[in-house]
Amino acid sequence: MSKDNIVSLLMPGGIEDSLTELLRNGARRLIQQAIEAELAEMLAKYEGQTDEQGRRAVVRNGYLPEREILTGVGPVTVKVPKVRSRGKESVVFRSSLVPPYVRKARRVEAALSWLYLKGISTGQMKEALEVLVGPEAKGLSASVIGRLKREWEAEYTEWCQRDMRGVRWVYWWADAIYSGLRAEGQKLCALVIIGVNEWGEKHFLTIEDGIRESTQSWREVLLGLKQRGLDVPPKLAVGDGALGFWAALEEVYPETRHQRCWVHKTANVLNYLPKAVQPKVKKALQEIWMAEDRASAHKAFDHFVATYQAKYAKAVTCLEKDREALLAFYDFPAEHWVHIRTTNPIESAFATIRHRSDQAKGCVSRNTLLATLYKLGMSAQKRWRRIRGFNYLAKVVEGVKFRDGVEVNDKRETDESRNAA
């Protein structure tokens, strides 16, 4: 990965992957929005002009036939608007982004990665769009770029104010996203929550800026959700143990169970160990969370503690302090375990911009960063599928008990009680 953290993408004709498709969709929306902003600026110039009958002299008139442009992430379809001139002067709209006969845009992967990583300030957007479509974009004015940026920010603002009543969210994933960007001298961080509803559909619930370890930042996020109608707490929340999220969750939604992310916990434990033993320790950790039932997990857990306590006490303490929260998933349907043991939905959605170094990679406004994260998140969300075993979610909502991933009925409870006696 380069110094600017830009991801190298496959060329057209190569093997498809989700990131390539995400960027292709981003390219399509970016180009279309920029074209519409160009048109709006042009129409504004003729706003005061009318024909002999008092009608506007220049108006929209549909679109030209849809065109396909070959980009660095594959073909992208665009629609260029048309205008009608009712006056004596002939007026034709020509986009500086997609002039007639242009069929190829070079290095679009570099432009989009740059956009997502750097944010979209006016100057940066112009530079990025020039990379996106080549020298044809040099005529793009600062006012068009500003209009495009304002559209993104307006979309994000409206999304943040949406009514959240009427949908039951069963599981949450919470994490903090660092972009490497700074605003007013401070590193920007987004607090993100993804939820899965009772039909198994995953959606972003919130993308707000704040401080990862701050209970106050997370408290404001959660109270904001509650104020917009999310009154019923989720059954389970999944996150990194270092978050101030847990303290805030205990205050705002005290009924919610806690599940620590095994990916984060594994990384935390390995940080206390020399590299030579890390592969062996990682395998031992995997034997815990891959155990078929809670009893076997505790047995593997105890074996880990006995094996490494004497020599690597800090690593063992790091693991042992969250034992119960690490094993909470055993009280939920086994079909859901693959989803609720980690914060993978957030990790994968923002893989292209996650950056945890202390070096600043750019300086953008708060609104620019959040609007960029929102646009990237919405692109990823469109590709998400329902979670496995979504038909069990109704039972989780109803409070049906699960033990070791299996539904507990009265007969089983009675049989197990007799066996225990």
Strands (E), 169-235: 169-183, 186-197, 202-209
Average pLDDT in the chain: 79
* pLDDT tens track for 277-331: 999 999 999 999 999 999 999 999 999 999 999 999 999 999 999 999 999 999 9
Nearest to 241 by CA among 117, 181, 325: 325
| Domain final position from 159, 176, 209 | 159
pLDDT above 60: residue 266:
yes
Q: 416 lies in a domain?
A: yes
pLDDT at residue 60 tops 70 = yes
The pLDDT of residue 145 is: 57
Integer CA distances (angstroms), 176 to 5, 89, 143, 375, in order:
18, 55, 33, 17
Same domain (yes/no): 370, 417: no
Say if residue 72 is in the same domain as residue 27: yes
Q: Which residue has the tokens 């984060």?
A: 264
Same domain, 70 and 107: yes
Pair (204, 307) in one structural domain: no
291 & 410 share domain: yes
- Domain end: 159, 194, 224, which one? 159
Least Cα distance to 51 among 89, 87, 83 occurs for 87
Task: State how far the alpha carbon of 417 is from the alpha carbons of 298, 303, 315, 420, in Å.
Answer: 21, 28, 37, 5
- Measured CA to CA, the distance from residue 331 to residue 295 in angstroms comes to 12
Q: Is residue 349 part of a domain?
A: no
8 domain-assigned: no
283 and 144 in a common domain = no
pLDDT in tens, 356-391: 333 334 556 777 778 877 877 887 788 789 999 999
pTM to 2 decimal places: 0.69
Most confident of 1-5, 133-137, 344-348: 344-348
121 in a domain, yes or no? yes
The pLDDT assigned to 391 comes to: 96
CATH number of domain containing 204: 3.30.420
In a domain, 11, yes or no: no
238 and 371 part of one domain: yes
- Looking at the structure, tell me whether residues 181 and 153 fall in a common domain: no
pLDDT at 351: 63
- H helices present in 119-244, as ranges: 122-133, 142-160, 215-227
Structure-token match 């920010």, residue found: 153
Q: For the chain, how many structural domains are there in total?
A: 3
Confidence of residue 415 (pLDDT cuts 50, 70, 90): low
Give yes or no for residue 32 having a pLDDT over 60: yes
Mention every residue, 6+ apart, whose C-beta is less than 8 A from residue 48.
Answer: none
Give the three-class secondary structure for 407: strand
- Say if residue 187 is in the same domain as residue 334: no
- For residue 5, being part of any structural domain is answered with no
Q: Report the distance separating Cα 329 and Cα 333, nearest Å.
A: 8
Domain of residue 242 covers 167-257+357-388
What's the whole-number mean pLDDT along residues 226-234?
A: 95
Q: Say if residue 319 is in the same domain as residue 367.
A: no
Q: How many CA atoms lie within 13 A of 262 on its CB side?
A: 20
The domain boundary, picked from 106, 140, 159, lies at 159
- Is 352 within a domain? no
Q: Is 312 in contact with 273 (CB distance < 8 Å)? A: yes
More confident residue, 264 or 347: 264
pLDDT bin (cut points 50, 70, 90) of residue 126 is: low
> How many whole angstroms separate alpha carbon 10 and alpha carbon 200?
32
User: For residues 340-376, b (16+ Cβ closer than 10 Å) or e, as one string?
Assistant: bbbbbbbbebbebbbbeeeeebbbbbebbbbbbbbbb
Are both 417 and 363 inside the same structural domain? no
Mean pLDDT is lowest, of 165-179, 267-281, 287-301, for 165-179
Task: Please state whether 185 falls in left (phi above 0), alpha (psi between -120 and 50) or beta.
Answer: left
- Which residue is it, tokens 């009427």? 166
Do 134 and 189 belong together in one domain? no
Residue 65 placed within a domain: yes
